[in-house]
A and B are shown apart, each in its own frame.
Chain A
Amino acid sequence: MKNCDYQQIDPKVVPTYASPSHIGTRGPRRVRRKWEVFPGKNRFYCGGRIMMAQQSGVLPLTLGLILVTTGLFFIFDCPFLVKHLSSCVPVIGAVLFVFVFITLLQTSFSDPGILPRATLEEAANVERQIDSSGNSSYRPPPRTKEVLINQQMVKLKYCFTCKMFRPPRTSHCSLCDNCVERFDHHCPWVGNCVGKRNYRFFYTFIVSLSFLTSFIFGCVSTHLAMSTTQQKHSFSYPHASFLWFRVMFELVICFFSVWSILGLSGFHTYLVASNMTTNEDIKGSWSGKSGDVATNPFSHRNVFVNCCSVLCAPLPPSLIDRRGILPVEEESAQMCHADIQLPANKNQRNMVGAPAHHPLCLKPHSKLKAELAAAASACLSVVKVWLSG
């Protein structure tokens, strides 16, 4: 994503990444990337280019339902409808299906807007500011901060996992263990969080899926109606039962999908028009509790502007820099941070995914830990020599 030529200078850091004489007799080390030490519960594939939640949820079911229903539609309904209705039917179906499939994959595989955790110095700075706010009671100081946003007071909460005050509209997803900007919800159907960066993909997915299911429902009903009237007197038993089974399957899937997906699309259209997230709507953040007239401070008070700002704003960059190369001193810091801060079972999830059968780009956890330990000790010895020299 970014090609920042400037490297932060820290004189205590060894400037080279791979130095065989320091590491030992292993030879030049493989370059490590930041996704390999990502602290959240995410899985990465294709060298960090694709990311998903720890549990894929019902994404395989979602994909299966869409593929099977659309497949049946193309195989059985399209030939009949092309002959008796119009040749546009498969074209429209194909366009909708492509939209649905691509936007589903984009929603599932992209970074939803994860905020990287605070560095040690940043976290210490925040702690100092909290402690210096003059709390001398036995209870821990309140970890909230009030800020004025568009003339309205908004409370920012402190995230104990990420060690920072969460920006407005950010929420911590407990399933993924990440703070996500403009957090909407964690969707098990797509197997990922929906946040600032992938909300537009999610919205396009549900809108095009509602069109697709309505279209297939309409086409299947039309096929059924037309074939019943045409072949009233010539139904043969094996064909009839297969036809009815297939038609019932498609109709049932589409009927339930139409109502639920249409409902969801309608709900999200309302959210987009009022520039709100599902999270805020559920919590009633702007519903005006205790008699106060609390309005949404992020709304532009204009439906068109709200829609454009949510769906047509420039796509923000991914802040976690998955493919960035990990500097040597950060590897040891990450490892120490993980060992000190996190419980033992979390370290297993620190990497890309413990089960060995996950595809692509995985590394046995114990081997990686050993490599990191060797790198850390070598690094520290070099730094000591340099500082004393």
Chain B
Amino acid sequence: MSEFHNLQELRRSASLANKVFIQRDYSEGTACRFQTKFPSELESRIERTLFEDTVKTLNTFYAEAEKIGGQSYLEGCLACATAYLIFLCMETRYEKVLKKIAKYIQEQNEKIYAPRGLLITDPIERGMRVIEVSIYEDRGSSGSSSGSSSVSVSTAR
């Protein structure tokens, strides 16, 4: 298993081997939720509980952003009364939570994922469709087989 101490070392000495995509979970509707099923490609790289915790926390953040309750009703009514002009002036609740999510993902990457040669991409950069987990190999030990896997991905099209 590749070990890296931090993001800087990952950048210098690693090459991208593969990408794993965690899909959306639509069992409860169109609200943003990701599947917590542990992908087999990550079995040798990270503990199951750590990964599941990350996905569950992200799901909690998204549920908080999309929560329909007293506060959202009030905001909706106020917005309607102002012909929705407040959306141009104010940061919406969703945007505030997205910033928290970006911070959380950065923190997780620095503390947990980069030392294991993994990187999580913020779902907002993939249209909230997937959580993209990039798997890196140590450039010195990768060899031709894993280094060519990302090339074969793009040439297979």
Which positions in A face B, CB cutoff 8 Å?
1-6, 8-12, 98-99, 102-103, 106, 115-116, 118-125, 127, 147-150, 154, 164, 167-169, 181-182, 200-201, 204, 297-298, 305, 308-309, 311-317, 319-321
Contact = CB atoms under 8 A, between A and B. Distances in A.
A201 B79 CA distance: 10
A317 B21 contact: no
B66 interface: yes
A376 to B, nearest CB: 15
B87 A102 contact: no
Contacts of A168: 26, 29-30
Contacts of A2: 95, 98-99, 102, 124
A161 B77 CA distance: 38
Contacts of B73: 308, 312
Contacts of B122: 4, 6
B65 interface: yes
B60 interface: no
Given A120-B157, A319-B124, A149 B66 contact: no
B27 interface: yes
B96 to A, nearest CB: 10
Ordered nearest first, which 8 A-B pairs have the shortest CB separation? A312-B76, A6-B106, A116-B127, A102-B83, A4-B102, A319-B127, A314-B94, A124-B153
A315 B129 CA distance: 18
Given A121-B153, A148-B27, A9 B7 contact: yes
Contacts of A10: 16, 134
29 contacts: A2-B124, A4-B102, A6-B102, A8-B125, A8-B134, A10-B16, A11-B139, A12-B15, A102-B84, A115-B127, A116-B126, A120-B153, A121-B132, A124-B157, A127-B157, A147-B27, A167-B30, A168-B29, A298-B30, A308-B68, A308-B76, A309-B68, A312-B72, A313-B66, A314-B68, A314-B75, A314-B92, A314-B94, A317-B94
Nearest to A149: B26
A interface SS class = loop
Nearest to B102: A4
Interface in B80-115: 80, 83-85, 87, 92-95, 98-99, 102-103, 105-106, 109
A204 B109 contact: no
A122 B21 contact: yes
Contacts of A1: 95
Nearest to B156: A124
Contacts of A5: 102-103, 106
B29 A298 contact: yes
Contacts of B19: 121, 125
Which of A125, A201, A309 lies at the interface centre, i.e. has the most chain B CB atoms within 10 A of its CB? A125
Contact of A317 (B79, B85, B98): B98
A275 to B, nearest CB: 10
Nearest to B129: A164
A201 B85 CA distance: 11
B58 interface: no
B26 A204 contact: no
A316 B83 contact: no
Contacts of B139: 11
A314 B66 contact: yes
B42 interface: no
A52 to B, nearest CB: 17
A124 B102 CA distance: 26
Given A8-B119, A11-B16, A121-B21, 13 more contacts: A2-B99, A6-B105, A10-B16, A11-B14, A12-B16, A121-B154, A147-B26, A149-B27, A149-B29, A168-B29, A181-B30, A298-B30, A319-B128
